[in-house]
Amino acid sequence: MRGSGARLLWLLVLSLAWLGPAWGDSEGLEGKEEDGEVVAEEEEEDEEDDVVSDELKEEDSVLVLHEHNFARALSEFRLLLVEFYAPWCGHCQRLAPEFAQAAATLRNGSEAVRLGKVDATAQVGLSTEFGINAYPTLKLFRDGNRTHPLAYTGRMDANGIVRWMQRRAGPSATLLQDTDTAAAFISAQDMVVVGFFKDLKGEAAQAFYEAAGEVVDVAFGVTEADELFEAYGLSVDTVCLFKKFDEERTDFPVDPARGLDAAELTRLLRVHSLELVMEFSNETSSRIFGAKIPHHMLLFLNKSVEEQLALRDDFRKAASNFRGEVLFVVVDVDGYGATVLPFFGLTPADAPTLRFIKMENNRKYQMDEEAFSATAVRDFVQAVLDGKVKPHLLSEEPPEDWDTRPVKVLVGKTFEQVAFDETKNVFVKFYAPWCAHCKEMAAAWEELGERYKDHEDIVIAEIDATANELENITISGYPTLHYFPAGPGRKMIEYRSTRDVETFSKFLENGGTLPEEPPVVSKVPPSLGQGFPSTPGWLQAPARWGMDPALPHSRMGTGCLAILFLPSPSAGDQDPREQHRHRGAESVRHG
């Protein structure tokens, strides 16, 4: 999985590296230089047939930005949130009305705040300058600063955008000066965060304000009053989370040596602001997946059945031991939860039932003998965490005609015997039924099957990897093609070249390698926005555990993503959000 993730990133970097020079010809790159504005304008005057104007026009309250008016917009508005979009991108089309609504609201509220949009496929200069590799990408430009925009991290709806912007436009935390106002502030809402700092100008307080800008769904208060430190029993700088449910109050004291890290505080607040047991719904799913807790423990039940509902009590009791490490979620098979059942190989009739899932690789675990007591659930979760439980692998039954067709149909149960048959060279396509890229290559695979159906030692096969899981092979993108050569040693070679019959054949005849060839990505045409499918592949995916609904689209990649969640990299590594972005690459194929 890791290797494959790295490959995706690598492809991305390679593609961009190649595209860079092509885009470099455009005048937009000048903007990168100091005084870019002036340089660009001088050049523009030379171009006679171009209509050049820095006039700011609006469409549905959203500024329409391009290379000629971008600098002017930056100079006129203190906070400018810019959406870089592609006209063909489905996510962008869905965002448009929400973005326009947010723009109208914010425009009304302040002269200094505006929303703008850039067609990144037409404005190649701007797109290159700001390193746009996913659609939509939203960036916030503050105080006219062109070189250090802030990545947008809020929700992709009108309310979410408004709140996120307001947090940055005004004070992000309410100043609390005495016990009465503090008590009133805390009791006014279900959940508030209060920062107690001896020095509001210090670094810890600044990090706190930064976190307040990220966790926009929760009210933030801040104080430096001695009176308040005393009233809440504190002696050192501390961030307190007050809730009207579960633990009621959680303290995060600031380590005097390490200080306060805004990203870490944001993560802690996200984790601890979740209810101990979350109910899975369309409203909670972004919080469930957004908290990026590495494991989920799920209780599937039918909420219309009284006895099943009662199981939640013990489930909750077990949950408190694993706060932050395992998120406990109740899934109603009669409601929104029905959409994720196939992903677990379940039907509504299986409820009540428990599943543990590791988000990093989608491995699922279940009890041998199901028991719902708090002790049983706690022991089971602990056993999985300790590596004492084997994953539960899904498998379909083999279809009757599985080995009479030119392309053999494998399932989990038959995979081992066929793929690792030492007398055969086996070429397997791992696919998802909903993946458009798989459909695109389906005909080529059938043709390959036809071509080799009479070869004794060659088997062309396919397996629906969403319904069949294998112990040691994790599929992170669809389609994935693996070649299992004859002979001992259980070898497996991943095929990474173009997906056409001739190249497949060459690969097979060559014993699982291809003569040195330039990378496929180098054929990407420099003009974007042409020949892209109107419906990107993985959008057709059914709702799935592990799918982050907020993922933007990348224009790179040639497959559908199987795993859309990765554990946060260790400190000092790349921003996990960036990683998600790349992993969540929209499956748009080039060339």
Which residues carry out catalysis?
Answer: 89, 92, 435, 438
Closest CA relative to residue 126, chosen from 54, 26, 194: 26
Q: Give the residue with the Cβ less far from ligand NAG, 94 or 506.
A: 94
337/304 Cα distance (integer angstroms): 13
Q: Which residues of 240-254 are buried (b: 16+ CB within 10 A; e: fewer)?
A: bbbbeebeeebebeb
Interacting residue with ligand NAG among 24, 348, 511, 591 (CB under 6 A): 348
Query: Are 386 and 356 within 8 A, CB to CB?
Result: no
237/394 Cα distance (integer angstroms): 50
In DSSP notation, 351-393 reads -SEEEEEETTTTEEE--SS---SHHHHHHHHHHHHTT-SPPPP
Q: Which residues 273-292 are close enough to bind ligand NAG by CB under 6 A?
A: 282-283
Q: How far is the CB of 349 from ligand NAG (least distance, A)?
A: 6
Number of residues forming the site for ligand NAG (CB under 6 A): 17
Say if residue 352 is preceded by a cis peptide, omega within 30 of 0. Answer: yes
Q: Please return the burial class of 187, using the count of CB atoms within 10 Å of its CB with bins 0-12, 13-18 and 19+.
A: exposed
Give the range of 39-47, 102-110, 206-214, 225-233 binding ligand NAG by CB under 6 A.
Answer: 102-110
Q: Give the residue with the Cβ less far from ligand NAG, 415 or 538.
A: 415
Q: Give the residue with the Cβ less far from ligand NAG, 133 or 302.
A: 302
Q: Binding to ligand NAG by residue 169, rule CB under 6 A?
A: no
Query: Site map for ligand NAG, 393-432, x if CB under 6 A?
Result: -----------------------x----------------
Q: Give the residue with the Cβ less far from ligand NAG, 305 or 467.
A: 305
Interacting residue with ligand NAG among 4, 123, 137, 302 (CB under 6 A): 302
**E strands, 76-133, in order:** 79-85, 113-119
Q: How far is the CB of 71 from ligand NAG (least distance, A)?
A: 12
* CA atoms within 13 A of residue 194's CA, in its CB half-sphere: 26
Residue bearing tokens 């056993």: 383
Q: Give the residue with the Cβ less far from ligand NAG, 68 or 107.
A: 107
Query: Are 112 and 169 within 8 A, CB to CB?
Result: yes
Q: Which residues 462-491 are close enough to bind ligand NAG by CB under 6 A?
A: 471-472
Give the range of 90-98, 171-179, 298-306, 314-322 binding ligand NAG by CB under 6 A.
Answer: 298-306
Closest residue by beta carbon to ligand NAG: 348
Answer positive or negative: Cα dihedral of 471, 473, 474, 480: negative
* Single-letter residue type at 140: L
497/273 Cα distance (integer angstroms): 45
Question: What is the distance of C-alpha 260 from the center of its chain?
Answer: 26
Q: Binding to ligand NAG by residue 516, rule CB under 6 A?
A: no
Q: Which residues 125-164 are close enough to bind ligand NAG by CB under 6 A?
A: 145, 147-148
Q: How far is the CB of 558 from ligand NAG (least distance, A)?
A: 28
Q: Give the residue with the Cβ less far from ligand NAG, 136 or 412.
A: 412
Q: Binding to ligand NAG by residue 304, rule CB under 6 A?
A: yes
Binding residues (CB under 6 A) for ligand NAG: these are 104-105, 108, 145, 147-148, 282-283, 302, 304-305, 333-334, 348, 416, 471-472
